[in-house]
Amino acid sequence: MPVTSAIHNFFGALGRFGLRWFHHVANLLAFTWRLFSLAVRKPLVGKPLVHRIVVEQIYFTAVQALPIVIPIALLIGTMVIVQFGKAAGQYDLGKLTVLLLVREMGPLLTAFIVILRSSVAITAEISYMRILNELEAVELMGIDPMHILGYPRLVGITTAMIGLFIIFDLAAVFGGNALAWTLTEIPMDQILPQMVKALEMRDITVGIVKALFFGVTITVVSLYRGFTVPRDMTAIPVACSAGAVETLFYILGFNIFLSLIFYL
Protein backbone atom coordinates (compact mmCIF):
# COMPACT_ATOMS: atom_id res chain seq x y z
CA MET A 1 0.00 0.00 0.00
CA PRO A 2 2.70 2.57 0.83
CA VAL A 3 4.34 1.91 -2.57
CA THR A 4 1.01 2.30 -4.38
CA SER A 5 0.30 5.51 -2.48
CA ALA A 6 3.73 6.89 -3.36
CA ILE A 7 3.17 6.13 -7.05
CA HIS A 8 -0.23 7.83 -6.97
CA ASN A 9 1.29 10.87 -5.25
CA PHE A 10 4.10 11.03 -7.80
CA PHE A 11 1.82 10.91 -10.83
CA GLY A 12 -0.59 13.31 -9.16
CA ALA A 13 2.19 15.84 -8.56
CA LEU A 14 3.43 15.30 -12.13
CA GLY A 15 -0.05 15.90 -13.52
CA ARG A 16 -0.53 19.08 -11.48
CA PHE A 17 2.85 20.35 -12.64
CA GLY A 18 1.94 19.62 -16.27
CA LEU A 19 -1.37 21.47 -15.94
CA ARG A 20 0.31 24.49 -14.34
CA TRP A 21 2.96 24.54 -17.04
CA PHE A 22 0.37 24.24 -19.81
CA HIS A 23 -1.67 27.09 -18.30
CA HIS A 24 1.45 29.23 -17.97
CA VAL A 25 2.52 28.63 -21.58
CA ALA A 26 -1.01 29.39 -22.80
CA ASN A 27 -0.89 32.71 -20.94
CA LEU A 28 2.52 33.47 -22.47
CA LEU A 29 1.20 32.77 -25.97
CA ALA A 30 -1.83 35.01 -25.36
CA PHE A 31 0.48 37.73 -24.04
CA THR A 32 2.69 37.36 -27.13
CA TRP A 33 -0.35 37.65 -29.41
CA ARG A 34 -1.40 40.85 -27.68
CA LEU A 35 2.09 42.32 -28.12
CA PHE A 36 2.21 41.48 -31.83
CA SER A 37 -1.31 42.78 -32.37
CA LEU A 38 -0.04 46.22 -31.36
CA ALA A 39 2.29 46.12 -34.36
CA VAL A 40 -0.75 45.77 -36.65
CA ARG A 41 -3.12 48.24 -35.01
CA LYS A 42 -0.83 50.97 -33.72
CA PRO A 43 -2.69 53.48 -31.54
CA LEU A 44 -2.23 57.11 -32.52
CA VAL A 45 -1.75 58.22 -28.92
CA GLY A 46 1.84 58.39 -27.70
CA LYS A 47 3.65 57.65 -30.98
CA PRO A 48 6.59 60.03 -30.24
CA LEU A 49 6.98 58.45 -26.80
CA VAL A 50 6.93 54.94 -28.29
CA HIS A 51 9.64 55.86 -30.81
CA ARG A 52 11.79 57.39 -28.07
CA ILE A 53 11.46 54.30 -25.86
CA VAL A 54 12.41 52.05 -28.80
CA VAL A 55 15.60 54.06 -29.39
CA GLU A 56 16.42 54.11 -25.67
CA GLN A 57 15.92 50.34 -25.45
CA ILE A 58 18.21 49.71 -28.41
CA TYR A 59 20.81 52.00 -26.85
CA PHE A 60 20.60 50.25 -23.47
CA THR A 61 20.47 46.70 -24.81
CA ALA A 62 22.91 46.97 -27.73
CA VAL A 63 25.16 50.03 -27.53
CA GLN A 64 25.82 49.89 -23.78
CA ALA A 65 26.42 46.14 -24.01
CA LEU A 66 29.21 46.47 -26.59
CA PRO A 67 31.97 46.80 -23.94
CA ILE A 68 30.85 43.37 -22.71
CA VAL A 69 29.98 41.66 -25.99
CA ILE A 70 33.12 42.58 -27.95
CA PRO A 71 35.71 41.41 -25.36
CA ILE A 72 33.80 38.14 -24.83
CA ALA A 73 33.61 37.62 -28.60
CA LEU A 74 37.35 38.28 -28.97
CA LEU A 75 38.23 35.86 -26.16
CA ILE A 76 35.91 33.10 -27.41
CA GLY A 77 37.00 33.56 -31.03
CA THR A 78 40.70 33.51 -30.12
CA MET A 79 40.26 30.43 -27.93
CA VAL A 80 38.43 28.49 -30.64
CA ILE A 81 40.86 29.47 -33.41
CA VAL A 82 43.95 28.71 -31.31
CA GLN A 83 42.67 25.32 -30.18
CA PHE A 84 41.62 24.23 -33.66
CA GLY A 85 44.62 25.90 -35.29
CA LYS A 86 46.91 23.46 -33.51
CA ALA A 87 45.08 20.56 -35.18
CA ALA A 88 44.34 22.19 -38.52
CA GLY A 89 45.62 19.12 -40.35
CA GLN A 90 43.15 16.82 -38.60
CA TYR A 91 40.00 18.93 -38.82
CA ASP A 92 38.31 21.26 -41.26
CA LEU A 93 39.01 24.42 -39.28
CA GLY A 94 36.69 26.60 -41.35
CA LYS A 95 33.63 24.40 -40.86
CA LEU A 96 34.30 23.86 -37.17
CA THR A 97 34.70 27.58 -36.56
CA VAL A 98 31.50 28.39 -38.42
CA LEU A 99 29.69 25.61 -36.52
CA LEU A 100 30.77 26.84 -33.10
CA LEU A 101 30.92 30.62 -33.51
CA VAL A 102 28.29 31.52 -36.09
CA ARG A 103 25.67 28.80 -35.64
CA GLU A 104 25.77 28.15 -31.90
CA MET A 105 27.97 30.35 -29.70
CA GLY A 106 27.13 33.65 -31.36
CA PRO A 107 23.34 33.60 -30.81
CA LEU A 108 23.51 31.82 -27.44
CA LEU A 109 26.19 33.96 -25.78
CA THR A 110 24.58 37.12 -27.10
CA ALA A 111 21.25 35.99 -25.64
CA PHE A 112 22.87 35.18 -22.28
CA ILE A 113 24.33 38.68 -22.07
CA VAL A 114 20.99 40.27 -22.94
CA ILE A 115 19.25 38.12 -20.31
CA LEU A 116 21.73 39.21 -17.63
CA ARG A 117 21.45 42.90 -18.52
CA SER A 118 18.05 43.64 -20.05
CA SER A 119 15.73 40.82 -19.01
CA VAL A 120 16.19 41.31 -15.27
CA ALA A 121 16.06 45.11 -15.64
CA ILE A 122 12.77 45.02 -17.57
CA THR A 123 11.12 42.63 -15.10
CA ALA A 124 12.19 44.77 -12.15
CA GLU A 125 11.06 48.00 -13.83
CA ILE A 126 7.59 46.74 -14.78
CA SER A 127 7.18 45.05 -11.39
CA TYR A 128 7.87 48.30 -9.55
CA MET A 129 5.43 50.14 -11.81
CA ARG A 130 2.73 47.55 -11.09
CA ILE A 131 3.25 47.54 -7.33
CA LEU A 132 3.38 51.34 -7.13
CA ASN A 133 0.17 51.60 -9.23
CA GLU A 134 1.93 53.44 -12.06
CA LEU A 135 0.36 51.10 -14.63
CA GLU A 136 -3.09 52.14 -13.44
CA ALA A 137 -2.05 55.77 -13.74
CA VAL A 138 -1.10 55.19 -17.37
CA GLU A 139 -4.47 53.55 -18.02
CA LEU A 140 -6.31 56.49 -16.43
CA MET A 141 -4.67 58.74 -19.03
CA GLY A 142 -6.32 56.64 -21.74
CA ILE A 143 -3.11 54.88 -22.82
CA ASP A 144 -2.64 51.12 -23.02
CA PRO A 145 0.42 50.22 -20.86
CA MET A 146 1.24 47.43 -23.31
CA HIS A 147 1.51 50.02 -26.10
CA ILE A 148 3.82 52.32 -24.15
CA LEU A 149 5.82 49.79 -22.11
CA GLY A 150 5.56 46.46 -23.94
CA TYR A 151 5.62 47.07 -27.69
CA PRO A 152 8.66 49.42 -27.69
CA ARG A 153 10.69 46.92 -25.71
CA LEU A 154 9.72 44.11 -28.07
CA VAL A 155 10.97 46.10 -31.06
CA GLY A 156 14.03 47.45 -29.25
CA ILE A 157 15.31 44.21 -27.75
CA THR A 158 14.69 42.15 -30.91
CA THR A 159 16.50 44.72 -33.06
CA ALA A 160 19.34 44.90 -30.54
CA MET A 161 19.67 41.09 -30.45
CA ILE A 162 20.13 40.90 -34.22
CA GLY A 163 22.69 43.71 -34.18
CA LEU A 164 24.63 42.21 -31.27
CA PHE A 165 24.70 38.80 -32.94
CA ILE A 166 26.27 40.28 -36.10
CA ILE A 167 28.81 42.25 -34.05
CA PHE A 168 29.65 39.19 -31.95
CA ASP A 169 30.35 37.06 -35.01
CA LEU A 170 32.46 39.73 -36.72
CA ALA A 171 34.51 40.29 -33.57
CA ALA A 172 34.90 36.56 -32.89
CA VAL A 173 35.93 35.60 -36.43
CA PHE A 174 38.06 38.54 -37.54
CA GLY A 175 39.14 39.85 -34.14
CA GLY A 176 39.85 36.36 -32.84
CA ASN A 177 41.91 35.60 -35.94
CA ALA A 178 43.91 38.82 -35.48
CA LEU A 179 44.57 38.13 -31.80
CA ALA A 180 45.57 34.52 -32.46
CA TRP A 181 47.96 35.71 -35.20
CA THR A 182 49.46 38.34 -32.86
CA LEU A 183 49.77 36.30 -29.67
CA THR A 184 50.74 32.87 -31.00
CA GLU A 185 53.14 31.32 -33.48
CA ILE A 186 50.46 29.20 -35.13
CA PRO A 187 50.50 29.67 -38.94
CA MET A 188 47.35 31.70 -39.59
CA ASP A 189 47.70 32.47 -43.29
CA GLN A 190 45.15 29.82 -44.36
CA ILE A 191 42.76 29.95 -41.41
CA LEU A 192 40.77 33.06 -42.28
CA PRO A 193 40.27 32.05 -45.95
CA GLN A 194 39.05 28.64 -44.75
CA MET A 195 36.51 30.27 -42.44
CA VAL A 196 35.25 32.63 -45.11
CA LYS A 197 34.99 29.77 -47.60
CA ALA A 198 33.10 27.57 -45.13
CA LEU A 199 30.62 30.33 -44.24
CA GLU A 200 27.35 29.95 -46.12
CA MET A 201 24.36 32.25 -46.40
CA ARG A 202 22.32 29.63 -44.57
CA ASP A 203 24.56 29.95 -41.51
CA ILE A 204 24.01 33.70 -41.34
CA THR A 205 20.26 33.25 -41.90
CA VAL A 206 19.99 30.69 -39.10
CA GLY A 207 21.89 32.97 -36.74
CA ILE A 208 19.61 35.91 -37.52
CA VAL A 209 16.49 33.75 -37.11
CA LYS A 210 17.77 32.51 -33.75
CA ALA A 211 18.53 36.06 -32.63
CA LEU A 212 15.02 37.08 -33.67
CA PHE A 213 13.39 34.25 -31.71
CA PHE A 214 15.63 34.87 -28.71
CA GLY A 215 14.82 38.59 -28.69
CA VAL A 216 11.07 37.91 -28.74
CA THR A 217 11.38 35.24 -26.04
CA ILE A 218 13.43 37.46 -23.72
CA THR A 219 10.99 40.35 -24.10
CA VAL A 220 7.80 38.33 -23.70
CA VAL A 221 8.90 36.43 -20.60
CA SER A 222 10.40 39.51 -18.93
CA LEU A 223 7.31 41.65 -19.55
CA TYR A 224 4.91 38.88 -18.54
CA ARG A 225 6.72 38.33 -15.24
CA GLY A 226 6.61 42.07 -14.56
CA PHE A 227 2.95 42.58 -15.50
CA THR A 228 1.79 39.59 -13.41
CA VAL A 229 3.98 40.01 -10.32
CA PRO A 230 2.07 39.88 -6.99
CA ARG A 231 1.63 43.28 -5.35
CA ASP A 232 4.41 42.72 -2.85
CA MET A 233 7.90 44.21 -2.91
CA THR A 234 9.43 40.91 -1.82
CA ALA A 235 8.02 39.27 -4.98
CA ILE A 236 10.20 41.40 -7.30
CA PRO A 237 13.49 39.47 -6.80
CA VAL A 238 11.60 36.20 -7.20
CA ALA A 239 10.01 37.39 -10.45
CA CYS A 240 13.37 38.57 -11.83
CA SER A 241 15.12 35.31 -10.98
CA ALA A 242 12.29 33.12 -12.23
CA GLY A 243 12.01 35.11 -15.46
CA ALA A 244 15.74 34.85 -16.19
CA VAL A 245 15.84 31.08 -15.55
CA GLU A 246 12.66 30.49 -17.56
CA THR A 247 14.00 32.53 -20.47
CA LEU A 248 17.23 30.55 -20.41
CA PHE A 249 15.40 27.24 -20.72
CA TYR A 250 13.19 28.50 -23.56
CA ILE A 251 16.20 29.83 -25.46
CA LEU A 252 18.07 26.53 -25.18
CA GLY A 253 14.98 24.72 -26.40
CA PHE A 254 14.49 27.10 -29.33
CA ASN A 255 18.18 26.77 -30.22
CA ILE A 256 17.95 22.98 -30.49
CA PHE A 257 14.64 23.15 -32.37
CA LEU A 258 15.86 25.67 -34.95
CA SER A 259 19.14 23.81 -35.49
CA LEU A 260 17.22 20.60 -36.15
CA ILE A 261 14.94 22.33 -38.63
CA PHE A 262 17.70 23.96 -40.67
CA TYR A 263 20.47 21.35 -40.52
CA LEU A 264 18.74 17.97 -40.45
Give 111's pLDDT tier (boundaries 50, 70, 90): very high
| Residue 115 CB partners (closer than 8 Å, separation 6+) | 218, 244, 247, 248, 251
Rounded percentage of the chain residues whose pLDDT exceeds 90: 25
| Structure confidence by residue, pLDDT tens digits, 197-253 | 777 788 788 888 999 999 999 999 999 999 999 888 888 999 999 999 999 999 999
Residue pair 72/109 in contact (Cβ under 8 Å)? The answer is yes
Reported as a single tens digit per residue, the pLDDT across 130-185 is 998 888 888 888 778 888 888 889 999 999 999 999 999 888 888 887 887 777 77
Q: What is the Rg, in whole angstroms, of the alpha carbon atoms belonging to the chain?
A: 22
Mapped to the 3 state alphabet, what secondary structure does 59-115 carry?
Answer: HHHHHCCHHHHHHHHHHHHHHHHHHHHCCCCCCCHHHHHHHHHHHHHHHHHHHHHHH
* Helix or strand run (H / E) with residue 117: none
How far is residue 233's CA from residue 222's CA, in Å, rounded to a whole number?
17
Is residue 112 over pLDDT 80?
A: yes
pLDDT tier at 1 (50, 70, 90 boundaries)? very low
Average pLDDT, stretch 77-101? Answer: 70
In degrees to the nearest 10, what's the CA dihedral of 155, 156, 159, 161? Answer: -120
Residue 215 confidence (pLDDT): 92
Alpha carbons 137 and 113: distance in angstroms, whole number: 33
Q: Is 91 within 8 Å of 198 (Cβ atoms)? A: no
Confidence at 3, pLDDT banded by 50, 70, 90:
low
**Maximal CA-CA distance, the chain:** 72
SS3 5: helix
Question: Nearest 10 degrees: CA dihedral of 196, 202, 207, 208?
Answer: 110
**In the predicted model, what is the mean pLDDT of the chain?**
83
Alpha-carbon distance of 19 to 24, in angstroms, equals 9
Query: Cβ of 250: how many Cβ atoms within 10 Å?
Result: 18
Contact of 184 with 82, CB cutoff 8 Å: yes
Confidence of residue 188 (pLDDT cuts 50, 70, 90): low
Instruction: State the average pLDDT over residues 110-114.
Output: 91
Taking Cα atoms as reference points, which of 126, 135, 117, 113 lies closest to residue 235? Answer: 126
Please say if the pLDDT value at position 190 is more than 70. no
